[in-house]
Amino acid sequence: MARHIELERKYDAEADLALPDLREVGGCARVGPPETHILRASYFDTEDLRLAARGITLRRREGGGDEGWHLKLPAGKDTKREIRTPLDAGTHTVPAELSELVAAHVRGRPLIRVAEVETHRTERGLLGEDGTVLAELADDTVHARRLSRDGHEVALMRWRELEVEAVEGSREVVESIGGRLRESGARESAAASKLARALEDDITPVRRPTATRTAGDVLLRYLGEQVEQLLAYDPRVRLAENDDDSVHKMRVAVRRTRSVLRTHRRLLDPVRIQTLDTELRWLAGALGDVRDLEVQNARFHRRLAELPGAHQSPAWLLVMADEEHRARDQMREVLLTRRYYDLLDALDAFLADPPLRARAARPAAKETPRLVARAWRKMMRRYDRAARLPAGQDRDAALHGTRKAAKRARYTAEAASAALGSPAAKLARRAERLQDVLGEHHDGVVAAERLAATTGWPDTPAADTFVAGRLAEVERREAARVLEDLPAAAKKAAKRKPLRKLGKKK
C-alpha cells in the first residue's frame, strides 16, 4: 500500500469563470501546460453512510496518474491521510487491506457502491523559479450519480470545481493561490469532497457533546473527545509496523475513558458502567501488550548504543522483537473482532443515551471541583503511604499505585478544564509531572526485571547474559536516580491553591 498526506483546498466555480493569472502568487513563477484526464470513480460506504459522516472517502478510480483504490482519512484542517492500492486489487469488492482500515466505523456492515462520479479534469502544475512543482490546480467538470442500495440511480448532479493541492509547496502557497481564485469569483466549497457534494443531505454528521453547564455535561464532553481519539488512531494502529506513537495514543484514549468513568462514578448508573469498564480494560490490555514491548525494545536499543563494547544485538533482544511482532498481529486480530465492535457500539450508545443519575444535573461549577478534589486526595494519600516505605518491592508497587492515581487525577482535571478553565488545567499539568516521574521509575523497575529474567533463559550465550546483567544494573541505578525528582513533584502537586480556585468565578 502506498501512503501520503494530502493537503488541498476546493472551490466552487461557475461554468463561465475565467481562471486568473497565477504567476507570482505564492512564489509561483510559471504555470505548466494543461493536461486533460477523464476520471471515473465508484465510491463505497455503508448503507447509512457511516464513512461519509466522518469525512472518510473510499473509492475505486480509473484514469489519471494515480488510478487505483483510494482511502482518504481526515488528518487535520484541509488535510487527509491517503492510502492507495492497485486498481486490480478488486473491482466490485473493497480490498481487504482497505476495508480493515475502516472496520471501526463499518463494524461488520457491508460496503456497497453509494455513488459514481465522472470528472473531466484539466490539470496544471504551478511551478517555482527552479521548476519545482509547488502545487497542482485541477479544473474539474463533475457529473455525479447517487445510487440506491440495489445500484439504481437516485439523483444526478453536475458542477464545476477547482482544486488546489500542494505538491512541494506549503500550506501558505495553497492559501495564497486560493485567495487569487476567490478574487476571481470562485467560492470556497462547503463540501469536503466530491462524494460529500454528491450525497448532500443524506449525510448525518457525527456530533459529540460540547456543553459544559452541568457536571454530566463535562463528563460527556470529555468522553466524546476520547472516543473520537480512539477512532482516529484505530487505522494508524493497524498500519503501524513499529513505534509511531499510534498504539500509545489509542491506549491513552482508552485509559482516559476508564479513568473518568471511575472518578465520575457517583454521577452514573453503576450497572452499565461495570460492563463498559470490563471491556475497556480488555482493549487496553491488548494495546498494552504491544506498547510495553515497544517501550522496552526502544529502551534497550538506546541503552546498548550507550554501553561501551556492545556492538551487536544480543539474542534476547531479537526474541523481544519477535514478541512485539506477534503482539501486533494479535492486536490487529482483536481490532477485527465482534467484541471490539460491540465495545464501540456501547460507547456510542453511552454518549447518545448516557446513564446519568440526578447528581449529574448539578452545576459544573459546584460538582466538578468536588470530583477533582476527591481524585486529588486519593493521589496524595497513595503518595504519602508509598513515601513512608523502605526501598524494595513493596515501595515499587506502592509507587506504581500512586502513578495510577496520578493519571486518574490528571484526566479528571483535564476533563474539568473545559468548564473550570486554567485552575483545572494547572492541576492537570502538576499531576502529569508527578505521573511522568513515577512512570520513568516504573519503566526502569520493569526493565531491570525483564533483563534479570533473560539471564535464566536456556542456551543463552554467556556474552548475552553478561550484557543483560550490565544493563539491568544501569536500569536499577536510573530508577533510583529518577526518584530524586519525586519529592519536588509531589510537593508541587500537594499545594492546595489551585484546588481552592476551582469553580470560583473570575
Contact 331, 290 (CB under 8 A): yes
Grid coordinates belonging to 55: 469525512
The amino acid that residue 214 corresponds to is T
**What is the C-alpha to C-alpha distance for residues 158 and 161, in angstroms, rounded to an integer?**
10
Contact 186, 12 (CB under 8 A): yes
Q: Is 18 left (phi over 0), alpha (psi -120 to 50) or beta?
A: beta
Grid coordinates belonging to 355: 446513564
Residue 57: CB partners within 8 Å, gap ≥ 6? 43, 51, 70, 71, 72, 193, 195
Task: Report how far apart, in Å, the C-alpha atoms of 448 and of each of 146, 179, 195, 445, 457 are.
Answer: 60, 58, 54, 5, 15
Which one, of 208, 243, 196, 160, lies nearest residue 74 by Cα?
Answer: 196
Q: Determine the average pLDDT of the residues in 463-477.
A: 89
- What pTM was computed for the model? 0.91
Grid coordinates belonging to 29: 513563477
Res 90 pLDDT > 80: no
* Phi, psi values for residue 482, rounded to 5°: -60, -35
Q: Is the dihedral of CA 416, 420, 425, 430 positive or negative?
A: negative
Res 506 pLDDT > 60: no
**What is the C-alpha to C-alpha distance for residues 63 and 70, in angstroms, rounded to an integer?**
13
* pLDDT tens-digit map of 182-203: 999 999 998 889 999 999 878 8
* pLDDT tens-digit map of 28-67: 999 999 999 999 999 999 999 999 999 999 999 999 888 9
Grid coordinates belonging to 446: 520493569
Q: Determine the average pLDDT of the residues in 394-409.
A: 96
* Phi, psi values for residue 159, rounded to 5°: -160, 170
Provide the CA 498 distance to its chain's centre, in angstroms: 30
501 pLDDT band, cuts 50/70/90, is: confident
Grid coordinates belonging to 202: 443524506
Strands 153-166 and 2-13: what pairing?
A: antiparallel
DSSP states along 383-427: HHHHHTSPSSHHHHHHHHHHHHHHHHHHHHHHHHHHHH-HHHHHH
End-to-end CA distance of the chain: 53
Burial grade of 351 (CB within 10 A; 0-12, 13-18, 19 or more): middle
Contact 209, 217 (CB under 8 A): yes
Contact 375, 263 (CB under 8 A): yes
310 pLDDT band, cuts 50/70/90, is: low
* Percentages of the chain per state (helix, strand, coil), in multiples of 5: 55, 20, 25
Q: What residue spans define the domains of the chain?
A: 2-202, 215-501
Provide the CA 180 distance to its chain's centre, in angstroms: 34
* Phi, psi values for residue 493, rounded to 5°: -65, -30
Q: What percent of the chain has pLDDT over 70?
A: 97
Residue 139: CB partners within 8 Å, gap ≥ 6? 13, 19, 121, 122, 123, 124, 160, 162
Class of domain 2-202: mainly beta
**What is the C-alpha to C-alpha distance for residues 238 and 211, in angstroms, rounded to an integer?**
33
463 pLDDT band, cuts 50/70/90, is: confident
Res 221 pLDDT > 50: yes
Contact 120, 140 (CB under 8 A): yes
148 pLDDT band, cuts 50/70/90, is: confident
**What is the C-alpha to C-alpha distance for residues 12 and 140, in angstroms, rounded to an integer?**
10
Q: What is the homologous superfamily of the domain 215-501 according to CATH?
A: CHAD domain (1.40.20.10)
**What is the C-alpha to C-alpha distance for residues 151 and 206, in angstroms, rounded to an integer?**
26
Average pLDDT score, the chain? 92
Are 2-202 and 215-501 in the same CATH fold? no
Q: Determine the average pLDDT of the residues in 104-116.
A: 95
Q: What percent of the chain has pLDDT over 90?
A: 78
- How many alpha carbons lie under 13 Å from residue 376 in its C-beta half-sphere? 28
Burial code (b: 16+ CB inside 10 Å, e: under 16) for 48-77 equals ebbbbbbbbbbbbbeebeebbbbbbbeeee
